[in-house]
A and B are shown apart, each in its own frame.
Chain A
Amino acid sequence: MVNPGYKYFKGEDWVDPTPPPAHLTHVDEVGSSGAPLKSASFFIGTQCKEYNEDFMLCKNENRNPEHCLLEGRKVTRCAIDALQKIQSKCQSEFRAHWECLDRKNQELGRCREHEKGLNDCLFTAFAWKKNVPDAPTNKPQIHERTPLTS
């Protein structure tokens, strides 16, 4: 969908029709906005760990955008793949979770019930487990903590 634009600057007038340069490989962009991405972030992180680390190491060498186009394409495609898998099996829980996040300033700690629903659905569908990297192992992870008084 074209960006709607403003009343006197219709969105369709602001699309650049020139084709991109031929030497750049085409890649589809991720189409999710902030809240769905945040909701799916830990799952994209576990699925795409190698590609993300490759990209970050490549950027560490050289900040020039042209240097890391290949790794960037792999990151984008992996993220699109992860999102498509989530949408195929657990769409209603995913939507409930990111709509809750959208209302609560995108803070994960305020939407734990919806997150639990999403985690359970994804675990039964794909055996994906949400894991916070570099969390201390002697305690339960923050999204699995039970309240002291209940």
Chain B
Amino acid sequence: MPVPFESLIPFAIISGMFLVTGTGIRYAQTTRNEGKRARYSLDDWDRKMMQRDTQLTGTMRGQVDEPVASPEFKVNSSWKVYDSLRNDFA
């Protein structure tokens, strides 16, 4: 007698759950990183560079390529707000 289809339903459910968690994690990371993949293996240099990016653009993954910074770059401090509560260096 061939394999009954009812016995394969649990496998389908397990695969579906893998898909759901994978999609959910990818959605959460993509939303946090403005559509880009999350950064990994960050060392001190990368974290400090990302903090400089926050100072320049307002978000940790925003990039600009002007040679000269705007004059507010030296004197703004909104990137320091809630710095003690933020914990988003993965």
Query: Contact: B65 with A36, CB < 8 Å?
Result: yes
Complex CA gap A36/B63 in Å reads 8
- Neighbour of A94 across the interface among B39, B46, B65, B79, CB < 8 A: B65
Query: Contact: A33 with B53, CB < 8 Å?
Result: yes
Once A6-B78, A31-B73 are accepted as A-B contacts, the answer to whether A106 and B63 lie under 8 Å apart by CB is no
Kindly list chain A residues whose C-beta atoms are within 8 Å of the C-beta of B77. 14, 16
- Neighbour of A31 across the interface among B54, B68, B79, CB < 8 A: B68
Query: Contact: A3 with B37, CB < 8 Å?
Result: no
Kindly list chain B residues whose C-beta atoms are within 8 Å of the C-beta of A16. 75-77
Kindly list chain B residues whose C-beta atoms are within 8 Å of the C-beta of A4. 58, 78
- Neighbour of A11 across the interface among B65, B67, B76, CB < 8 A: B76
- Neighbour of A9 across the interface among B41, B72, B73, B78, CB < 8 A: B78
Once A16-B77, A105-B37, A105-B39 are accepted as A-B contacts, the answer to whether A34 and B52 lie under 8 Å apart by CB is yes
Which partner residue on chain A sits nearest B55 by CB separation?
A: A3
Chain B 65-90 near chain A by CB (<8 Å), digits 1 or 0: 11111101111111101100000000
- Neighbour of A5 across the interface among B37, B46, B58, CB < 8 A: B58
Query: Contact: A3 with B72, CB < 8 Å?
Result: yes
Min Cβ gap B49→A in Å is 4
Give residues 6-56 of B contacting A (CB, 8 Å): 36-37, 39-41, 46, 49-50, 52-56
Query: Contact: A106 with B46, CB < 8 Å?
Result: yes
Min Cβ gap A38→B in Å is 8
- Neighbour of A83 across the interface among B39, B40, B55, B67, CB < 8 A: B67
Query: Contact: B57 with A33, CB < 8 Å?
Result: yes
18 new A-B pairs (CB below 8 Å) besides A5-B78, A29-B69, A102-B61? A2-B72, A3-B56, A3-B79, A4-B78, A6-B78, A14-B76, A14-B78, A14-B81, A30-B69, A31-B65, A31-B67, A31-B69, A32-B64, A33-B52, A33-B63, A94-B65, A98-B65, A102-B36
Interface, chain B (partner A; CB < 8 A): 36-37, 39-41, 46, 49-50, 52-58, 61-70, 72-79, 81-82
Q: Which 6 pairs, one residue from A and one from B, show the smallest C-beta to C-beta distance? A: A31-B69, A14-B78, A31-B66, A5-B78, A36-B65, A83-B67
